[in-house]
Structure 1
Amino acid sequence: MRLQILGGGNNQLGAIRRAAEMGHEVVLVDYFKNPPGRIYATFHEVVSTFDVEKNIDIAKKYGVDGVMTMGTDQPVYTVARVAEALKLPAFLDVPTARAVTNKEIMKQIMTANQIPTVPYRFLTKAARVEDLDKIPFPVVIKPLDSQGQRGVFKLTTATAVIDSLPETFSFSRADKVLLESYYRSDEITVSAWVDKGVPAILTITDRESFSFDRNIGICYAHEYPSRHQRREPEIRALVHSITRAFKIKAGPLYVQLLVGEQGIVVNEVAGRIGGAHEDIFIPYLTGFDILDRVINFSLGIDAVLAAGDQTRTARVNEHLSVQLFFAKPGKITSLTSLETLRKLPGVIAAGYNVAAGQTLETIANATARAGYLVMAGTTERALHESINQAFRALKIIDEQGQNLVIQPKAYREGSSQPAKMGPGAATH
């Protein structure tokens, strides 16, 4: 069968490879000429995943049997439009896909359904400093329709907001940007599977991030189990409310929550598999192969199964970490081999987003990730020892023989995160 996959980057690489292994022909759509997923695809069209009409034309050209994406927000809407045009299977109808990929609609649905979120408003390009004279600071501004922390800034003055608007708008196709009150909080991510409108939570992880200057929320790790696991009943009730409010009937659901002194509020909602290699760690922890489910349903191969039909109880005694590592600026001459990394204790999976010969720039957002390690241990201490050992082995060498990998401070016993993450200081 032929499956059109939107996006050929590292977030979609697992899906492209898995579909090919299952014997399907992959029609890859990615505006880069040589994306990582190209080597596994049967066909490749150099087209933007945002271009709805061209993606519909591609689907017709190849007579695809299904269309999907994963690990990225905006193509979710394109998938829904292609599926509607060709009457292909789809988890989300077009209105729902629009709601989970546009922050203006997303916020309006939350407000209308009493789903807790931070105070917010929208700004146009015509906004002036005097329009913000009653706004409490700090605030966060975001594009309505972007991803990867592009154009997301924490700001402390009205002048800084107005001065930053052009850059935030540059990452958007919308005529407004979102302005939110800054909420000091932990962030957690919830991955769930929805069947017949009923969500089943698969994992709850702590999303660890670093900030520097005005750039915030750049994720460097996901940790399981969450330090807020005890609040699962409250989280479960909130996920059910989100599913009803957004009219999500089936498929993957990814929710980002903020946990602070004023309680749990919803940051964002997405109708996709997450972008922190959830396709690897969810099956490892639960036995539910979320990627297989998405591929098969998208091709109409079989019915959607509820998560409870195939999962075991999540491994509550297992500790898992997804390390999304970064590197300093420089030209790469060599890297520790993936074969070496995958043989290290606790390593389930490893990969690079960079290659020898590439010149790395200063970190600006989450797209600057140099690679990832998915690691597990039977105890928190064992996991942390393995993480520390992996970072001692991990090397991205520049022309001066220096290791460009930004090393997190050593994990301490009894701590679910490094004492202090290094990238913030390293990227000023």
Structure 2
Amino acid sequence: MKKILLLGGNYFQMTATLAAKALGCYVISIDYLPDNPAHKYADEYHNISTIDKEAVLKFAEEKRIDGIVSYASDISAPTAAYVAEKLGLPTNPYESVLTLTHKDRFRKFMREHGLRMPEGDSFTDEARALAYCRSLKFPVMVKPIDSSGSKGVTKIYSLDEFPAAFAEALSYSISKQVIVEAFIQKMGYQIDGDGFIVDGKIAFFGVMDQHNDLECNPHAPIGLSCPSIQKQEFQEKARNQIQKIFDLLDMKMGAFNFEYIIGKDGEIYILEIGPRNGGNLIPDAIKAARDVDLAAYTIKSAVGEDCSSLWEKPVHTCTSSYIIHATKDGIFRGIEIDEAIRPQIVQQALFVKPGDKVEKFRNAAFGIGAMVITFPDVEVMCEQIDHMNDYIRVIVD
């Protein structure tokens, strides 16, 4: 029985826990939140911070693990790579994982290799950041260098908005650094999907369209749908760019999450590449749409098992993930689901109960539940996801 250490145990990480158990692994789960739901499915739980790499290394040595996974989490991905590298377990290079999980390092890497990125820089000092912001054309994006789930990301239209945006970004940054960068106007949906590397080559590239609730935050996804409506030629160009990045970073294995846009100039801009599975039930939606279990392959890869059977099965069911969320602050009373969409829901979880205080959706931290939903065709899928507040109503007073 292979012994695997999973970093984190929230609802979105439960997919990995269940996949590991289904594969017959002995599962050890750690984080600093003992009430996280995935822990109850593990064989052991221990209260250790997933970003304390030395503490995790010591624990992993004691447990004699066969593999380690940071599933759907950027902040603990460096810990997983560090521990695996120290113990001689399957992993990508620690320095490469750091490059992908820190926006300042990633942007520097991209520019050094002549890859297209929005103009920008990172700062710890607000005054210097403000001075740089003055040199950019508005609107401008302000974001933490080491967060995920759109946490701390703000689009500003004037210098007056900068102090609040800088403080918001800083509050979500572990290293207390903030990126200030030019905003790139996109064509069509932003892309957010999951892929998988086998023997250094992209074996699976799951392109999904990102949907947003414009009333809450136009930059925080509330749904990821597939198949994408983006032209295949753009998907192939993005795939080739990302493969080039992996070649340069010597990335050899495992899952990755990617985000990119097509600018008004028709060029591809790679925004993020996370060296881990996506959050927001992206792997669950892919499994429902294509019968490809990326969570299972993540576990197999981490313990050194063969992943050559992975291939890009076509989409057989139009599918999207969806984050249940409130559109205003208040007391949660329940949700109303339109009968037109209720039969299409194949997975559902609610993280709050009636009487709980909830807040207007600003980023992934403010989601109050999650779903995987299927649709009869792409046109219906895009229309319903883009107007999901008409079909799934969160009652708040």
> 1:233 corresponds to which letter in structure 2?
E
SS at match of 1:170: helix
CA displacement at 1:393 relative to structure 2? 7.7
CA displacement at 1:69 relative to structure 2? 1.8
For the pair 1:320 / 2:322, whether they are aligned, the reply is no
> 2:330 corresponds to which letter in structure 1?
G
Contact 1:127–1:162 (CA under 8 A) maintained in structure 2? no
Q: 1:56-97 deviations in whole A, cap 9, x for unaligned? A: 12212323222102112111101011112222222x121111
Name the structure 2 match of 1:221.
Answer: 223
Query: Within 5 A, what are the aligned runs for 1:334-413?
Result: 344-356=342-354, 358-380=356-378, 383=381, 403-404=395-396
* Aligned Cα root-mean-square deviation (Å): 3.0
CA displacement at 1:334 relative to structure 2? 5.4
For the pair 1:34 / 2:32, whether they are aligned, the reply is no
CA displacement at 1:356 relative to structure 2? 4.5
Name the structure 1 match of 2:242.
Answer: 239
> 2:225 corresponds to which letter in structure 1?
E
1: distance between equivalents of 2:88 and 2:231? 40
**Residues 390, 187 of structure 1: CA spacing in aligned structure 2 closer, same or farther, 3 A cutoff?**
closer
2: distance between equivalents of 1:364 and 1:54? 32
Name the structure 1 match of 2:24.
Answer: 23
Query: Normalised by the size of structure 2, how large is the TM-score?
Result: 0.87
2: distance between equivalents of 1:306 and 1:203? 16
**Residues 198, 21 of structure 1: CA spacing in aligned structure 2 closer, same or farther, 3 A cutoff?**
closer
For the pair 1:286 / 2:290, whether they are aligned, the reply is yes
Q: 1:24-54 deviations in whole A, cap 9, x for unaligned? A: 3322111113111121122222222111111
CA displacement at 1:175 relative to structure 2? 4.9
1: distance between equivalents of 2:336 and 2:218? 29
**Residues 21, 330 of structure 1: CA spacing in aligned structure 2 closer, same or farther, 3 A cutoff?**
farther
Which 10-residue stretch deviates more, 12-21 or 371-380?
A: 371-380
Q: Among residues 195, 200, 205, which one is paired with 1:202 in the alignment?
A: 205
SS at match of 1:363: coil
CA displacement at 1:252 relative to structure 2? 1.4
CA displacement at 1:136 relative to structure 2? 1.6
Q: 1:270-313 deviations in whole A, cap 9, x for unaligned? A: 1111113232222333333211111122123x2232633xx43x
2: distance between equivalents of 1:133 and 1:336? 46
Q: 1:247-280 deviations in whole A, cap 9, x for unaligned? A: 2112112210012202221111111111132322
Q: Among residues 166, 189, 196, which one is paired with 1:193 in the alignment?
A: 196
> 1:224 corresponds to which letter in structure 2?
C
Name the structure 2 match of 1:268.
Answer: 272
Contact 2:238–2:270 (CA under 8 A) maintained in structure 1? no
CA displacement at 1:165 relative to structure 2? 2.5
Contact 1:153–1:216 (CA under 8 A) maintained in structure 2? no
**Residues 68, 356 of structure 1: CA spacing in aligned structure 2 closer, same or farther, 3 A cutoff?**
farther
2: distance between equivalents of 1:119 and 1:141? 12
Name the structure 2 match of 1:116.
Answer: 116
**Residues 175, 325 of structure 1: CA spacing in aligned structure 2 closer, same or farther, 3 A cutoff?**
closer
Gaps of 5+ in 1: 397-402, 406-428
CA displacement at 1:187 relative to structure 2? 0.8
2: distance between equivalents of 1:72 and 1:160? 29
CA displacement at 1:188 relative to structure 2? 0.6
Name the structure 1 match of 2:106.
Answer: 106
1: distance between equivalents of 2:65 and 2:148? 27
Contact 1:202–1:307 (CA under 8 A) maintained in structure 2? no
Query: Normalised by the size of structure 1, how large is the TM-score?
Result: 0.81
SS at match of 1:122: strand
2: distance between equivalents of 1:359 and 1:162? 28
CA displacement at 1:385 relative to structure 2? 8.9
2: distance between equivalents of 1:280 and 1:133? 43
Contact 1:375–1:387 (CA under 8 A) maintained in structure 2? no
Query: Within 5 A, what are the aligned runs for 1:121-132?
Result: 121-125=121-125, 127-128=127-128, 129-132=130-133
Contact 2:212–2:219 (CA under 8 A) maintained in structure 1? yes
